[in-house]
């Protein structure tokens, strides 16, 4: 049983999970299914026009202190983004278009680092093209694919699926029908997946 990793590239806590999930899943023998989606429509359904970290001043002040602590704990790079939340539609489309490619996971991590380590615009085509070239992909072909109706619809459908399944924030994880929310629940989700796999193997 795999773990489904639902994330938005604008989500700071998704960054923490994206940088950790592959090694943790490998230790437990769990496969990962990456599910890029857009938080904007989810928040709009709640009547919010921005991230709760922006709408709630006290929470917003706290979260950047917490991010420094968490990145120090996990040994991750960190720079508070000068723009938050950043638009993440194009990188989400590219990550969707990259499904099935062996470099998808590494590309996803690179985009997160672009945002939360290098403080760069993650919708900048030049910066994204440089990342694609690093992974041996054709930037022009990938950007063209990301702009196609097929990829746009896939991302739209995935965001709608997130809402149907009760996703209200990112990162979220699914093990079958079981949902976990937040970076601090990643280990719990992986343990459930590993336990299910062990029970299946024993049958």
Active site residues: 11
> Given the structure tokens 């690179």, which residue do they identify?
110
Half-sphere exposure of 106 (CA within 13 A, CB side): 10
For the chain, counts of helices (H) and of strands (E): 10, 4
Distance in angstroms (rounded) separating the CA atoms of residues 36 and 38: 7
Distance in angstroms (rounded) separating the CA atoms of residues 180 and 164: 15
CA distances from 71 to 64, 79, 80, 157 (A): 11, 10, 11, 32
User: Got the DSSP string for 22-88?
Assistant: HHHHHHHT--EEEEE--HHHHHHHTT-SS-HHHHSHHHHHHHHHHHHHHHHHHT------SSSSPP-
């Amino acid at each position: 049983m795999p773990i489904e990793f639902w994330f938005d590239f604008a989500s700071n806590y998704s960054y923490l999970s994206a940088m950790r999930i592959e090694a943790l899943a490998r230790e437990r023998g769990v496969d990962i299914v990456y599910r890029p989606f857009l938080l904007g429509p989810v928040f709009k359904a709640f009547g919010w026009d921005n991230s709760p970290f922006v709408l709630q001043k006290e929470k917003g002040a706290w979260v950047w202190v917490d991010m420094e602590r968490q990145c120090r704990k996990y040994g991750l790079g960190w720079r508070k983004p000068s723009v938050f939340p950043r638009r993440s539609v194009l990188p989400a489309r590219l990550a969707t278009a990259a499904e099935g490619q062996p470099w998808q996971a590494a590309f996803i991590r690179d985009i997160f680092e672009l945002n939360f380590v290098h403080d760069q615009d993650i919708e900048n085509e030049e910066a994204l093209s440089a990342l694609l070239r690093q992974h041996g992909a054709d930037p022009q072909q990938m950007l063209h694919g990301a702009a196609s109706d097929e990829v746009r619809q896939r991302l739209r459908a995935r965001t709608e699926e997130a809402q149907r399944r009760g996703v209200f924030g990112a990162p979220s994880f699914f093990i079958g029908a079981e949902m976990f929310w937040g970076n601090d629940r990643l280990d719990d989700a992986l343990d459930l997946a590993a336990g299910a796999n062990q029970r299946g193997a024993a049958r």
